[in-house]
Amino acid sequence: MTYKNKQKWVIFLFLSPWLIIFAIFGAYPIIYSFITSLTDYSGLNPSMNFVGLDNYIRAFQDEVFLKALTNTIIFVIGTIPFTLGIALFLAILLNNKIPLQNLFKSGFFLPSVISMVVISTMWIYIYSSSGLVNTILKSIGVTVQDRSWLARPESALISIMIMDVWAAFGYYLLLFFAGLQNIPAQLYEAARIDGASKTQIAFKITIPMLKPTLFFVIALNTIRSFQIFSEIYTMTGGGPSNSTQTIVHYLYQTSFRKFQMGYGSAMAYILLAIILLITLVQKRMLRSDFV
Amino acid sequence: MRERKTNKVLFVILLVLLFFSLIPLFLTFLTSVIPDGDLFHITQGKTFLDFEKGLMFQKAKMKVTGTKDYKQSDISNGNGKSLYFNPKSSERDIELVVFMLGKDINLINYIEFDIDINPGAKLRIGVKDMNDNTQYSEKAVSFEKEGWHKFRFNIDTSEFDKVDPKNTSQIILKFEFPEDVPNSFYIDEVFAKYHFPTFINFKTVWEENDFARYIFNSSLVSITVVLGNLIFCSMVAYAFARKQFRGKEVLFSIILSTMMIPPQVIVIPIFILMKNIGWIDTYQALIVPSLVTPFGIFFMRQYIEQLPLELDKAAFVDGATDWQIFTKIILPLSKPAMAVLGINSFIGVWNDLFMPLILVSKHEMWTVQVGLANFSQLNQVQWPSMMAASTIAGLPIIIVFLIFQKQIISGVVDGAVKY
Amino acid sequence: MWKKVLVVFLVVALLATAGMAKTKLNFWSFMLTEDAANNIIADFEAANPDIEVEYVQLSWANGFDKIVTAIAANAAPDVVELGNTWVANFASEGAIMNMNYLKEKAGETIVGWPSTEYMGDYYAYPWLLGTRAMFYNIDLMEQVGLDPENPPTTWAELMDAVQKIDALGNGIYGIGLCSGEPYSPWQQWFLPAAWGNYGKTLSADMKTATFNSPQMKDTGKFYQELSNHALMTKEADMAAVFGEGKLGFFIGGVYQVATFSANYPDLNYFSAFVPKPSEFTGTHASFAGGEVLAIPTQCKNVEAAEKLINYLVMPDVAMSITKQVPSIFPSNTLASQDPWFEDHIIHQIFFEQNAFAVPTPPHPKWTDIQVEISKAVEKIILEKADVDTVFDSANEAIQKIID
């Protein structure tokens, strides 16, 4: 066997766990749901008629879908900078020696282990008409409407965004910690000897060295944010008047509540195209080292 | 000097942030030890009966048997009104029945009421459960004081072994009057004080649900998936990080794409697939599809790419095979990333609800999250038991996190600058 | 002698085959916990030794998705519990069986059939019914000099009481009108009020939208006037504010009783029927929710499935579920004799309110139609938009959906 051929086998061997699992459990559901997206399948009735790209065209004529798309984009753009900004800031801060360092590191992550139901319920209360936000605002003399912040179309989405930033940053903090491990200590030593300040070290060494991690974290957060579902499902159900409707929530409703599986699947593939495009652009921008 | 001040400010900010981060954990635990209420209401006691409002409203709270001669009265211990009984002299046993609406009487610490009754009268306690079984206490207690006074008694549930104390519909205050004792009396402010804090919720949850089994199922699934991810994702990631081959980036994009398809649209084909290979209600169904995850591959790839190539090269020159390079060099260097991947996979699988709910039906196959999901009933949630169950369900995650976190945290300290 | 042996042998063989040929029945439901189901099913199996029931408890989190998935994968259970609002969808897709003959056999004691109707046929068996009634705060009634023992029974009386209580100020509201979430804006209470006023969303043949009928518009105007004295937020908020004693009235489900008892143990409240338009016209209509039992068309043991359904709707069986989850009551009116109601007076009021409950129109597109109604209701109560214009345009939108 030539070296080259041998290498091919080695690569194949290393890739095989994924190839096998994907072939058995990944490919079929994806192909099935893609084919469904080209039909008028309801889910309750086995009949499937091929309708071509009708479902895809329909989506872009569907006011609610467009609204859901807009909301999802607002959500993604509005949360990612804050979630990752806070996480990055804390990661760099905690990378220094400060009192109670280890407590902070575990403490920020622990909320991620709590089920979303508890977190949602807590925030529903915070935002409710007699809840924490309104109580605080009233006590400092602001006149507020006695309505839940989640019941008002103008504030519902942003309320969920705030909650989401709060609930997610601890998780990304942990990913940053892992990335920070990979920065050689000598670099810091050298910078310190050169008399660099903490801020300079952060911007000149830590952040540039974190770039691959940053790409990963941004891509991951983008993918997850575009798929936001459970917060919407438990807190608003997409209301009021679709002001918190997101793509995944809408496609879920369409598939499982209005029994239009075909149309629902089409939305999923539109979403896939959008996320994939954005991720590839991010890759270009943040990882010039590979194509 | 100035730096020290900013340090202090930063420290305070950190503390505040940490405080907010820990609130849900704290609330979860707090709610699990309260007798009644929800995340923001701790109900420590309840006034069963107060006679300020007309008798019409009392009928939702109580009834009287043994006599018909009772009415609201203006005479009471303090201000307000009480209930006055003036039965016929032949009526010697009078029952004041308090409706419990299914409450668990184990939660009651004591019951207290204001009373003006003739000394010599006796009180016996009865409990009736939802299935219409009634039981009275063996012993009766005597009233000794004259005039208005507070009277307090405990309910010893071990005495009521013929009823279901967790689901009571009535507590019966049976006033027994011996022949020579006049049988009129006033009563007011029947109040129950609950146990707080209480661990009864944990006991109930553990006894009524098979949490040991759920935890076993979840652990089996989660640990297998974590092991699978640690090995397989690193393997695949190694190929992507260290090897060049045709179609690499296309293949990687496909892997990424599988992350981008919402699970909601593939649940039906997955179910059909599992049904056809006979995997419904099996552990394999929950384990095998998650053994290699796109997240793991993506995460490990970017981490391995950052490891210095020189070590690989040196090993390669020394004649090491790829497998040796992978196991002897890459894996040991990837410990922090593996720790994160381990935590992440564990939490992901442990907290996953959607797939287990669809793929698992049999009770003995339920995972912890399926067990938890079944705590919500139509339009109502019993917060204390639900939070007790959540605490039980959350503990393993915290333990796993504490095991893995050393890898992440201790390493950071070593590599960090010391100011 | 040999004859006897032969007979014994035959009997044994028959019994053995009968034992082996047990019919297996899959039963999925939300309401029954595993433990409760085990008891009920054990009794059923004892009465029907040839049937073996396999029970699966569905969770409210996504049990419904599980049903849809199973039907799509041709693995549906033999008997399944559905929410009554889903019957039209499942029936129109041919996923559940016609039950007209069961209805005929059921007799007068079972109520709630209208909510299982689709195009003149019945596709499910009413099992447990839940509806909404009116909660009111006794203290607030007394404060404004109203007799809490005679709560409002008509719209005019309600309006009067609401205005008086709302005038107390200090964060106190007369009434709560749900808004800002799906479903509740019309469910609690606009649309039932309109039904009580003989208003209909759709014509009888369900081909014409009649949302702009005079009855609808009158209800809209009444509702708009109420909204001037109302707290308008989500249902859960409403219950919390009512629990804090700052709300005079609200239309809600009996499940709130558990919330009040847990979180606001000292609240003085009571409940009454939903008020009707006036003393002489209209009804106390309320929203009819409920759980029904259906047989999917994929079922292979229809006969056994029917037996199970007939067993589950028996008054004491259904009542045993109510005792565990007192937010829903048996469809069997004979259950009213259960002594449980003597200890649960407020629940009894809700149970009686069931007699006035009206289901939503059985149109498969109802999910879309109700969105338009929610929007219209919110426009008139939150933006105080003109009722006539809003209802006319909502009617157009609804007509578009059903065409």
Q: Which residue of A has its CA nearest to B408?
A: A178
On the 0-12 / 13-18 / 19+ scale of CB atoms within 10 A, C282 is: buried
Over 90: is that where the pLDDT of A268 sits?
Answer: yes
Print pLDDT tens along chain B (419 aa). Answer: 566 777 788 888 889 989 888 888 888 899 999 999 888 889 999 999 988 888 888 888 999 999 999 998 888 877 788 999 999 989 999 999 999 988 888 999 999 999 999 999 999 999 998 888 999 998 899 999 988 999 999 888 888 889 988 889 999 999 999 988 999 999 999 999 999 999 999 998 998 888 899 999 999 999 999 999 999 999 999 999 999 999 998 999 999 999 999 999 999 999 999 999 999 999 999 999 999 999 999 999 989 988 888 888 898 898 889 999 999 999 988 888 898 899 889 988 998 888 899 999 888 999 998 888 888 777 778 889 989 998 888 888 888 888 877 776 654 434 333 32
Residue A128 carries which DSSP code?
S
Mean pLDDT score of chain A: 88
Contacts of C259 (CB under 8 A, 6+ apart): B380, C239, C243
Quote the ipTM score: 0.90
CA distance C82 to A145: 38
Helical ranges in C27-149 per DSSP H: 34-47, 63-72, 87-92, 100-106, 138-143
Residue C85 carries which DSSP code?
G
Question: Given A152, A253, A256, which is nearest C68 (Cβ)?
Answer: A256
Local confidence band at A288 (pLDDT 50, 70, 90 cut-offs): low
In this prediction, residue C9 carries a pLDDT of 65
Residue C59 to residue B370, Cβ atoms within 8 A:
yes
Residue B374 to residue C326, Cβ atoms within 8 A:
no
Q: Which residues of B touch C62 (CB under 8 A)?
A: 353-354, 357-358, 373
In this prediction, residue C5 carries a pLDDT of 66
In this prediction, residue B414 carries a pLDDT of 40
In this prediction, residue B418 carries a pLDDT of 31
Over 90: is that where the pLDDT of A68 sits?
Answer: yes
Residue A129 to residue C231, Cβ atoms within 8 A:
yes
pLDDT digit string, tens, across residues C225-262: 999 999 999 998 899 999 999 999 999 999 999 889 88
Q: Which residues of A touch B23 (CB under 8 A)?
A: 122
In this prediction, residue B8 carries a pLDDT of 84
On the 0-12 / 13-18 / 19+ scale of CB atoms within 10 A, A168 is: buried
CA distance A76 to A223: 9
pLDDT digit string, tens, across residues A76-92: 999 999 999 999 999 88
Q: Which residues of B touch C266 (CB under 8 A)?
A: 46-47
| Distance from the B137 Cα atom to the nearest Cα atom in chain A, whole angstroms | 41
| Distance from the C326 Cα atom to the nearest Cα atom in chain B, whole angstroms | 9
CA atoms within 13 A on the CB side of A148: 31
In this prediction, residue C196 carries a pLDDT of 95
Read off the tokens for A86.
């806070």
Q: Which residue of A has its CA nearest to C241?
A: A130
Local confidence band at A212 (pLDDT 50, 70, 90 cut-offs): confident
Q: Which of residues 54-73 of A touch B (CB under 8 A)?
A: none
Average pLDDT over residues A280-288: 77
Q: Name the neighbours of A, counting chains with at least 3 Cβ pairs within 8 A.
A: B, C
Question: Given A129, A147, A259, which is nearest C89 (Cβ)?
Answer: A259
Q: Which residues of B touch C344 (CB under 8 A)?
A: 99, 101
| Distance from the A27 Cα atom to the nearest Cα atom in chain C, whole angstroms | 18
Q: Which residue of A has its CA nearest to C172?
A: A146
pLDDT digit string, tens, across residues B20-62: 888 888 888 999 999 998 888 899 999 999 888 888 888 889 9
What is the residue whose two structure tokens read 């605490």? B391
Residue C367 to residue A240, Cβ atoms within 8 A:
no
CB pairs under 8 A between A and B: 247
| Geometric angle at alpha carbon B116, from B110 and B117, rounded to 5° | 95
Residue C296: closest CA among C128, C129, C123: C123
CA distance B222 to B404: 14
A128 touches chain C (CB under 8 A): yes
In this prediction, residue C17 carries a pLDDT of 55
In this prediction, residue B416 carries a pLDDT of 35
Q: Which of residues 246-275 of A touch B (CB under 8 A)?
A: 248, 251-252, 255-256, 261, 264-265, 268, 271-272, 275
Per-residue H/E/C for chain B: CHHHHHHHHHHHHHHHHHHHHHHHHHHHHHHHCCCEEECCEEECEEEEECCCCCHHHHCCCEEEECCCCEEEECCCCCCCCEEEECCCCCCCEEEEEEEEEEECHHHEEEEEEEEECCCCCEEEEEEEECCCCEEECCCCEECCCCCCEEEEECCCHHHCCCCCCCCEEEEEEEEECCCCCCCCEEEEEEEEEECCCCCHHHHHHHHHCCHHHHHHHHHHHHHHHHHHHHHHHHHHHHHHHHCCCCCHHHHHHHHHHHHHCCHHHHHHHHHHHHHHCCCCCCHHHHHHHHCCCHHHHHHHHHHHHHCCHHHHHHHHHCCCCHHHHHHHHHHHHCHHHHHHHHHHHHHHHHHCCHHHHHHCCCHHHCCHHHHHHCCCECCECCHHHHHHHHHHHHHHHHHHHHHHHHHHHHHHHHHCCCC
pTM, two decimal places? 0.90
In this prediction, residue B417 carries a pLDDT of 32
Regions of chain C where pLDDT drops below 50: none
Residue C234 to residue A44, Cβ atoms within 8 A:
no
